[in-house]
Structure 1
Amino acid sequence: MSVSRENLLAVLDAHVHPLIGRGLVAAGAIASAEVVGDAARVVIELGFPSAGIRDALAQTLGAQINEQLGLVAELSIGSRIASHAARKNLEPLPGIRNIIAVASGKGGVGKSTVAANLALALAAEGARVGLLDADIYGPSQPRMLGVANFKPTSPDGKRMNPIAAHGIQVMSIGFLVGDDQPMIWRGPMVTQALGQLLNETVWDEVDYLVVDLPPGTGDIQLTLAQKIPVSGAVIVTTPQEIALLDARKGLQMFRRVEVPVLGIVENMAWYDCGDHRDYIFGEGGGARMAAQYGIELLGQLPLTTSIRQQMDDGRPTVIAAPESDIAQRYREIARRAAAQIAYGVPGAVFPTIEISDD
């Protein structure tokens, strides 16, 4: 019995990867598929960076094709990352396909550490990545990425080239002011500075721009949500009830302005004490919050000395210990967030949100 292309496509569409949530054909992931003799030649293009899962996916699909159709599978798996802006009325920014906002309701939960490692994890998965440090009052990314003493160059006297750090493009107000220079600015000046950092940086065709927001739900968050084509937000929290209380406010703020929340990262979830785990800040808070709001728990990260040391040294965990369990957790978080953008962000009708001056 001969095997048709339709038979091959049926097998491919029957495979529902958990990060995609639908068959590969239905997801538009099949770039080409043909049967040539006793071989199935398939080119798959996923909508998110996927270096960490390609081999396993190829092995699984190859076995299914061989078992069900009796063909030898010749598979090529790559990524084609499209632009997904939540607000359809906002124009994409030059050189940027997608924007991921990393937010927290309160300070001290490790948001900037997560943002840096998330950006590096997306790059490790095969994406072109930028990182914008939007914390104007307390920029930390230059120090965390080991480029604190760098200064941006300009191609034309008007715009700035981003700083290259560990394979990603970085911009921060920290590159333009001294470490001990306070930014004594009111809200409008801060939002203007954010706009300049974002729009006057020459981003070089990044698939994802990760924006490290300051904690809270103030001017910068609202400006980003209302005027910039954000693809989705990641909420960082610890399991502690006080942190979760503020994280819920951040989540609700993004929902109010119709920016999809890609999921929650629970940081400092436990501390390994050798033979057991100590849940210093409580247990399961991130999972309960995710279930409460019907969103995904993107991942959990431990409280460890190594993460702090690596950030202080300017070499975040994904770079300093790429094979470690923690680095792999960051990469899984990156894949899940990017897959949410590609396949899991629902369309919406966006209301006009008015912020009064009172």
Structure 2
Amino acid sequence: MSQGTDSVFVSSLGKGDTLHQQVLAAFARCRISEEDVLRNTQFCRLLATLSQHVDRTGLTQHLRRDLEKAERDLHAQRLSWLRVENLLRVLQEIVQEKRFSKASADLTEEDKFYGTLEQCLMVAQCVKQMDVSSDSGEDPSGVLGLTAERVQRLMPPEQELVEMKQRLSSELLQHLKKKAVSILTYYQPERENESEGLRDVALSKLPELLDAEQKRARSLTEKNRENAVLLQRQTHSYLSELLKCMNILQCLVLDLRLKAQKDLDRKKIEYFEAKCEIGLQKIRAEMLEVQLDTYTRDKIAAQRKITEKLRAELTSSELDKQTLESKLTSFQIYGEEFEALAEEYSRLRREIATKSWALKEFSS
């Protein structure tokens, strides 16, 4: 396509054209979202072209016709097999019902009919099994060396077969009618107590009823399949939106958590500051209480007198210090010779003090 066609295609999608909806409907089984189709225009165009040549399952028209023909042939073969199989099972049901309902051990004509029918069914089943074994490539003689001809020799006499076949149709119709009545009363329980004529009229409409039920079941199955595809698509969209919402919520949680943590830290700091201030006030109160208990008025007056006396002595000592410092300064003027004489004088003073102490000790 040209560039102009591309622009027309994109603009048509942007204006709400249903082409992308047709693409999604044509490939409903594929996990393609509407956003993918709108975002990839070339891919959407390819799918739109393919949808004209393939069906919803992905098969081409030629393969679809071959498949439909094969399905029709298979349906015909299956229908033929089902007819024979259903007839065989119905006959087996007739024999089983008679066997379980038999109350007398006397051999009657009816028992003879059912015995002949059962024997025929057993022989037919054995022959059928041998035919299946021969088709699969196994030894047709089997384990016991039997063949289909030898098994067929076990069939009842010809006269009994003729009598059984003459009665078989009526027994079969009676049994099928009984089953049809049971099916009818299952779908319509109110007809159980109706007369025979009304029930026969209802039985004539039973195929239509079963056909309608079958069509209803097929439509429900198709609807369920479409709903499953729709549910899968909606689930995918829901999960995508849910992931986006989770990302947004995660960002909001992180942002709000940081702000809340900041406010919480500030409030914790204020709390600890207030608690520390209360502790300091308690310490000060305890100190004041200890001071009040320790220092009475008499003690405070005595301490004041002692303090005044010490201050006076400190003042006197400072004056003496100043006097001595002035004398020391005047002595330092004389230089090193005076310093040597001062040291010698100090030494002599120490010796005199030592000898005086020694003399005093000897005298005592």
The TM-score bracket by the shorter chain reads under 0.3
- Output the TM-score relative to the length of structure 2: 0.20
Q: Which has the higher contact order (CA 8 A, sep 6+)?
A: 1
The structure richer in strand per residue is 1
- Output the TM-score relative to the length of structure 1: 0.20
